[in-house]
């Protein structure tokens, strides 16, 4: 009899425990179903098949449903600016994505997709995955256009209930440094108390890696020509210049650039200040300047032979535009590897190349004084 009573007591206790487990589980399951019935059913069936150790990863995956995105957008609907403009916009949105804890994505489809030339780092995957694209269905999205307008980006609350889950922004924001300064308390240490060059370089190198396609072209140029040991000892073996004129052989656009008539004076400056056997790399949008450099330096000249044009202006000729875009990526990386860099100060393309240099020395900014004259000023960064 005692054994029978003990057995009944044991069965009753087990029933109570099971009822409590079911009852306490019910609110979680109901809440989850109300949010996303498809996902929770899949999750629960998965739990039944696996042991209890797999429950935690599934619940973490569920939380990602509410993930919000900040997307740099450059598409065919309007101009995006040149490569320098696009880099400014990307860095500005990267900083804001850290402030507002949104996932950064980058969509550049014009004139050509960026992905064959740049890829994400392991830390920040800015390419939408298939899983993320599926989750975008049904989410609120909005596109904001801040091309040429910086101020709204300073004060916009990207986590406001009025702002979409997926926020697309077109921008060429110049003021990524003031943004970093204003929101410094929300940013990691590597972006605090830094100058403009440091903020750009630290941000860019954390999100962007050139692909093998681009790096192989850079290596071909970098290893070409005869490297002189005496020039190398001087620390000025590779001298580079980026001379943007705004006067290409393919089109003209409104830009007050380096005056081609002053190019001989620049060659004289290089000859007078650097080793007479230094290799010379010149990136330019002007055929006459390129021919002048080849004629002047002969075998010391190692590039560039590319025809660089403004990406927004060549959408009608995609073959030429894509070739030019690739050469722009290659040229900028080459400029960042030079011992000496001379650049025209109004070009974001070459300014950013100078920011990306490993050592900030022997950088000279061309200051235009007139239609055919200029002076050089050494740049100092922090």
Residue percentage of the chain with pLDDT more than 90: 54
Please indicate, yes or no, whether residues 218 and 299 belong to a single structural domain of this protein: yes
Residue 59 included in any domain: no
Please indicate, yes or no, whether residues 279 and 349 belong to a single structural domain of this protein: yes
Please indicate, yes or no, whether residues 71 and 194 belong to a single structural domain of this protein: yes
Please indicate, yes or no, whether residues 139 and 282 belong to a single structural domain of this protein: no
Q: What SS3 state is found at 164?
A: coil
Residue 19 has pLDDT above 80, yes or no: no
> What is the structure's pLDDT at 44?
29
* Higher pLDDT pick, 10 / 331: 331
Among candidate residues 180, 210, 240, the one where a domain is terminated: 210
> What is the structure's pLDDT at 62?
37
Residue with tokens 């997926």: 166
179-188, 241-250, 373-382 — which is least confidently predicted? 241-250
Residue 291 included in any domain: yes
Which CATH number does the domain housing residue 204 bear?
A: 3.40.50
- DSSP annotation string for 313-366: G-TT-HHHHHHHHHHHHHHHHHHHT-SEEEEETT-HHHHHHHHT-SS--SEEEE
Please indicate, yes or no, whether residues 98 and 180 belong to a single structural domain of this protein: yes
> What is the structure's pLDDT at 364?
95
**How many domains does the structure of the chain reveal?**
2
> What is the structure's pLDDT at 312?
59
Residue 28 included in any domain: no
Q: Compute the average pLDDT of residues 127-149.
A: 90
Residue 175 included in any domain: yes
Instruction: Find how far residue 50's CA is from the centre of its chain.
Output: 41
Please indicate, yes or no, whether residues 368 and 224 belong to a single structural domain of this protein: yes
Q: Where residue 9 falls among pLDDT bands split at 50, 70, 90?
A: very low
Residue percentage of the chain with pLDDT more than 70: 75
> What is the structure's pLDDT at 255?
54
Residue 30 included in any domain: no
Residue 315 included in any domain: yes
Residue 1 included in any domain: no
- Whole-model pTM: value is 0.79
Residue 306 included in any domain: yes
129-133, 239-243, 248-252, 272-276 — which is least confidently predicted? 248-252
| pLDDT tens digits for range 34-70 | 223 223 223 323 333 333 333 333 333 334 556 899 9
> What is the structure's pLDDT at 253?
47
Can you tell me the distance from the alpha carbon of 368 to that of 112, in angstroms, rounded to the nearest whole number?
A: 33
| pLDDT tens digits for range 191-207 | 999 999 999 999 999 99
Which CATH number does the domain housing residue 268 bear?
A: 3.40.50.11350
**Quick check: bond before 111 cis, omega within 30?**
yes
Q: Where residue 183 falls among pLDDT bands split at 50, 70, 90?
A: very high
Q: Compute the average pLDDT of residues 111-138.
A: 93
| pLDDT tens digits for range 20-36 | 433 443 333 222 222 23
Among candidate residues 192, 210, 228, the one where a domain is terminated: 210
Please indicate, yes or no, whether residues 205 and 240 belong to a single structural domain of this protein: no
Buried b / exposed e over 255-281, threshold 16 CB at 10 Å, is eebbbbebbeebbebbeeebbeebbbb
* Higher pLDDT pick, 317 / 366: 366
Can you tell me the distance from the alpha carbon of 8 to that of 2, in angstroms, rounded to the nearest whole number?
A: 10
> What is the structure's pLDDT at 36?
30
156-165, 234-243, 341-350 — which is least confidently predicted? 156-165
Helices (H), the chain: 2-35, 37-49, 55-63, 83-99, 130-136, 151-155, 176-182, 196-207, 212-222, 229-233, 263-273, 287-297, 318-336, 348-355
> What is the structure's pLDDT at 192?
96
Q: What domain range is 140 assigned to? A: 66-210
Please indicate, yes or no, whether residues 227 and 373 belong to a single structural domain of this protein: yes
Among candidate residues 184, 210, 236, the one where a domain is terminated: 210
Please indicate, yes or no, whether residues 269 and 120 belong to a single structural domain of this protein: no
Please indicate, yes or no, whether residues 154 and 300 belong to a single structural domain of this protein: no
Q: What SS3 state is found at 74?
A: strand
Residue 109 has pLDDT above 80, yes or no: yes
Average pLDDT value over all residues in the chain:
80
Which of 146-150, 252-256, 271-275 is modeled with the greatest confidence?
A: 271-275
Please indicate, yes or no, whether residues 119 and 240 belong to a single structural domain of this protein: no
Cα dihedral angle (204, 208, 213, 215), rounded to 10 degrees?
Answer: 40
The contacts of residue 56 (CB under 8 Å, 6+ apart) are none
Please indicate, yes or no, whether residues 134 and 75 belong to a single structural domain of this protein: yes
């Amino acid at each position: 009899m005692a054994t029978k009573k003990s057995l009944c007591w044991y069965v009753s206790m087990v029933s109570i425990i099971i009822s409590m487990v079911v009852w306490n589980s019910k609110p979680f399951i109901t809440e989850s179903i109300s949010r996303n019935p498809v996902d929770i059913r899949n999750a629960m069936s998965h739990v039944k098949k696996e042991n209890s150790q797999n429950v935690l990863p599934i619940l973490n995956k569920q939380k990602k449903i509410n993930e919000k995105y900040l997307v740099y957008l450059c598409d065919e609907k309007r101009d995006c600016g040149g490569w320098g403009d696009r880099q400014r916009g990307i860095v500005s949105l990267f900083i804001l994505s850290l402030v507002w804890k949104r996932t950064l994505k980058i969509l550049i489809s014009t004139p050509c997709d960026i992905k064959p030339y740049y890829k994400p780092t392991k830390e920040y995957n800015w390419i939408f995955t298939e899983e993320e694209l599926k989750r975008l269905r049904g989410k609120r999205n909005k596109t904001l256009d801040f091309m040429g307008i910086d101020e709204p980006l300073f004060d916009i609350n990207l986590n406001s209930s009025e702002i979409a889950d997926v926020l697309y922004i077109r921008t060429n924001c110049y003021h990524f440094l003031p943004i970093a300064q204003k929101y410094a308390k929300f940013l990691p240490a590597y972006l605090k108390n830094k100058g403009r060059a440091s903020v750009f370089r630290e941000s860019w190198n954390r999100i962007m890696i050139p692909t093998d396609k681009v790096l192989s072209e850079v290596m071909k140029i970098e290893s070409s020509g005869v490297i002189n040991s005496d020039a190398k000892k001087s620390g000025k073996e590779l001298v580079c210049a980026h001379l943007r004129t705004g006067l290409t052989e393919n089109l003209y656009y409104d830009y007050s650039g380096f005056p081609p008539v002053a190019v001989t004076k620049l060659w004289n400056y290089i000859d007078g200040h650097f080793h007479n056997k230094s290799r010379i790399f010149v990136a330019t949008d002007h055929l006459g300047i390129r021919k002048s450099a080849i004629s002047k330096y002969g075998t010391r000249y190692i590039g560039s032979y590319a025809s660089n044009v403004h990406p927004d202006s060549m959408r009608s000729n995609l073959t030429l535009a894509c070739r030019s875009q690739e050469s722009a990526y290659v040229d900028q990386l080459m400029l960042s590897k030079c011992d000496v860099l001379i650049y025209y100060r109004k070009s974001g393309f070459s300014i950013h190349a100078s920011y990306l240099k490993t050592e900030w020395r022997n950088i000279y900014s061309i200051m235009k004084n007139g239609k055919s004259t200029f002076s050089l000023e050494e740049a100092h960064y922090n």
